[in-house]
Structure 1
Amino acid sequence: MRTILITGPGGSGRTTLAAATALAAAAEGTRTLVLGTDRTDTLGAALGVPTGPAPVQAAPRLTAWRPDAAQDFRKDLTALQDRASTALDLLGASRLDPEELTPLPGAEELVLLRALRDAALSEEYDTLVVDLPPAPQAVALLALPEELRRYLRRLLPAERQAARALRPVLGRLAGVPMPAEWLYETAGRWDLELAAVEAVVADRDTVVRLVAEPGPAGAEALRTAGLGLALRGLRTDLVIANRVLPEASPDTWLAGPVAQQRKTLEEWRESYDVRTAAHLGHDPRGTDDLTALAVPGVQPAPPAADWPVTDRLGEDGVLVWRIPLPGAIREELDLVRRGDELVVTAGRFRRIVPLPSALRRCTVDGAALRGGELRIRFVPDPGLWPQSR
């Protein structure tokens, strides 16, 4: 399945263009599902069809779905109470009724990730279009499966899970209660679910499509979003410049904004494949307006993001790890080596990545940012590196 994740700065019209993209994909003959994330039905307003927890037919070969975070949160927490009933009874805790439960912060993100996984694994559709939150939140959302899996591995490492059969004996020896079996089972189930979402995000047929208005604010938002996505190794297939004013406008007062958008578009085209969606003079509503935007549907996926290690041992005795970070600013970069991991900070974004096996036997010798690429130099550690004879 092709998955198109659409994001951009708030107010850029990303929901409208997500609907237009899904409509274009369906018009190309693919069975398409568009997944909405807003609490309010902005997706339904754009399509002209109300959307909600039950998928609805929005156009030929196009289905729209907007999961209910509150409903799913109540269902999950009720199930958790049932599984932990023994512990709750021992503590004298009273149960929470489903009717009194409201989603906690972060619940909507988890519901969206689960919906993304379920939709991507479905055999009913050929194309999935996801209307993500605004760009900074979208990057954090897409990073969540990887981060949560890392936390689970630290809290319940594999070697401790392997010792589950010895739990009663260890409990008597240590004199303290050991984690219950349901905790390991829950952690294992969460890990599988998160791994499935992570696989969807990292799939070669998954791309991110950025939406922004051509202007100074849109340009800065695009730079920030592109940097966060690159740090996560996610690929951008297109940038859609939204609400583009006509070049041949008879209104003289539009000359300044038109010139500014032209300059911005020229700069964007140096780094991205840019398409434009015209300003219709009103908020697009219904399939006719969405079709008039002439937004592309499914496009060929760009090459997979690559972080290669360059062997320069024969030239100057180093290995160089090359990490593409377009839009990065030198003053906003930070690197920390921690064991076999590297903590990379770029602006507001941070990622902890495992070092390639060859670099684990090396020490960091320096780093430089050149042409939107971070190049980290590693020198072999004599105590760990095989010596030539």
Structure 2
Amino acid sequence: MPPRIVLVTGLGGAGRSTAAAATAVAAARSGARTVLVTEKGPAPCDDVPGLTITRVDGGHAFRARAHAFQARLGSVLDLLGAEPLDAEEFTELPGARSFALLHALGEAAAGRADTVVADLPPLPQAVTLLALPEQLRRYLARLLPPERQAARALRPVLAQLAGVPMPAQWLYEAAARWDVELAAVQGLVESAATTVRLVVEPGPHAAERLRDARTGLALFGHRVECVLANRILPTGSADPFLAGLSGGQQEHLKALNDEFGTGRTSGTEVCELPHLGHAPHGADDLAALGVPAPAPVPDGRGPAARPWSVEDRLGTEGHLLWRLPLPGTTRDRLDLVRRGDELVVDAASFRRIIPLTSALRRCTVSGAALRDGALLVRFTPDPELWPADRAPKP
């Protein structure tokens, strides 16, 4: 049974790390063996029974993996006359923290935990991070397709003649290892047992900024479990200044509920977390925030359903209707291009390249529209490619 995974992100400075720690405490106190994956330093919940904290050091992880990779290439480097780098010479490259965080998430999920809570970077970086495994696997498949490898039978002979493993061989073997690891993390991110919690401090334009994030998360099929509205001030204060701050915050909170709340067709719960008047100092303070423990996910085994669907309207309208929910997007922030057997969808500054099914590959795009928060694309069968017995009647 895969663990329950909760991915916590939100607007910068909204207190997402605090919310992630509070989520982990709530899960552990409910009886779940819980792991909190975070890049932060000491957390105010180190002594909670049933809770393990994994702290990610991106620089250390990069140096260790780079040194190990160099060691595997030792014979090739000797052949080229290259001088290997010492361990101290490796410095962290851009993106290393993303790989380290994904690797730590995979290791935590592979353990014996019931629940894994991941403290992700702020939006929109978190959306990019979650899309990374799928995108890198696509790059590997395009740049190093297995069917184009050098003849396997010749490799041992060529390796003996050269005295070292042939570059094509170790390169494809390395790509295969990377693909296996990326596939495992992608499986976790796309699991039916994985949900996202968004953290925001109600304020000017907060709902608008979360709207773009909601679109990006929907594009990649991530399910938003709830919105955690943090640092909510008490209402009814006799102090005019505090009353004014609270009143303004309540207006922004209403905007969040209008955008995400249960009053909408596909509503997402907005949970209000009180302002404690100080930074949380321990597990009891975190529990006082009232962050709900992660609920079990129905049918949590295996991957979640794809965010897109196809409706067969051949018999009635002569086309197939492809549908992708994109809540929060607008026509001016949406673009669509068909590229061979793929759809390239740009929404709110996020891009996803989506492979088409075999049926849709034999169709032409005859129209597209944005209706009720969903992208609709009409595919009309190509008579030259569609089987005659399935082609729509004229």
Output the TM-score relative to the length of structure 1: 0.90
Match of 1:280 among 272, 276, 282: 276
Match of 1:136 among 115, 124, 135: 124
SS in 1 for 2:22: helix
Give the letter for the 2:318 counterpart. Answer: G
What is residue 144 of structure 2 aligned with on the other side? 156
Measured in 2, the distance between the counterparts of 1:315 and 1:79 equals: 60
What is residue 162 of structure 2 aligned with on the other side? none
Distance 1:143 1:262, change over 3 A: closer
Match of 1:257 among 248, 251, 257: 248
1:385 Cα deviation from its structure 2 partner: 1.1
1:90 Cα deviation from its structure 2 partner: 2.8
- 1:119 aligned to 2:108? yes
Give the letter for the 1:22 counterpart. Answer: A
Measured in 1, the distance between the counterparts of 2:43 and 2:192 equals: 32
Distance 1:45 1:127, change over 3 A: closer
Measured in 1, the distance between the counterparts of 2:286 and 2:336 equals: 44
Equivalent residue runs for 1:20-39 within 5 Å: 20-38=22-40
1:319 Cα deviation from its structure 2 partner: 1.0
Distance 1:183 1:305, change over 3 A: closer
What is residue 61 of structure 2 aligned with on the other side? 72
- Write the deviation string for residues 1-28 of structure 1: whole angstroms up to 9, x where unpaired: 1000000011010000000000000010
What is residue 301 of structure 2 aligned with on the other side? none
CA contact (8 A) 1:22 1:34 kept: yes
- 1:189 aligned to 2:177? yes
- Write the deviation string for residues 193-235 of structure 1: whole angstroms up to 9, x where unpaired: 0000001111110111111122333212211111111000111
Question: Runs (4+) of structure 1 moved beyond 4 Å?
Answer: 167-171, 302-305
Give the letter for the 1:283 counterpart. Answer: A
Measured in 1, the distance between the counterparts of 2:31 and 2:124 equals: 33
SS in 2 for 1:180: helix
Match of 2:221 among 227, 230, 233: 233
Distance 1:322 1:150, change over 3 A: same
CA contact (8 A) 2:21 2:43 kept: no
Distance 1:25 1:356, change over 3 A: same
- Considering only aligned residues, what root-mean-square deviation do their CA atoms show, in Å? 2.1
1:143 Cα deviation from its structure 2 partner: 0.6
Measured in 2, the distance between the counterparts of 1:170 and 1:316 equals: 59
Give the letter for the 1:103 counterpart. Answer: E
SS in 2 for 1:116: helix
1:45 Cα deviation from its structure 2 partner: 4.2
Output the TM-score relative to the length of structure 2: 0.89
What is residue 89 of structure 1 aligned with on the other side? 78
Aligned-residue identity in percent: 58
CA contact (8 A) 2:219 2:307 kept: no
What is residue 52 of structure 1 aligned with on the other side? none
Measured in 2, the distance between the counterparts of 1:362 and 1:257 equals: 52
Give the letter for the 1:347 counterpart. Answer: A
Number of aligned residue pairs: give it: 370
Give the letter for the 2:51 counterpart. Answer: L
Distance 1:88 1:335, change over 3 A: same
1:162 Cα deviation from its structure 2 partner: 7.4
1:61 Cα deviation from its structure 2 partner: 0.6
- 1:210 aligned to 2:198? yes
What is residue 247 of structure 1 aligned with on the other side? 235
Measured in 2, the distance between the counterparts of 1:347 and 1:296 equals: 30
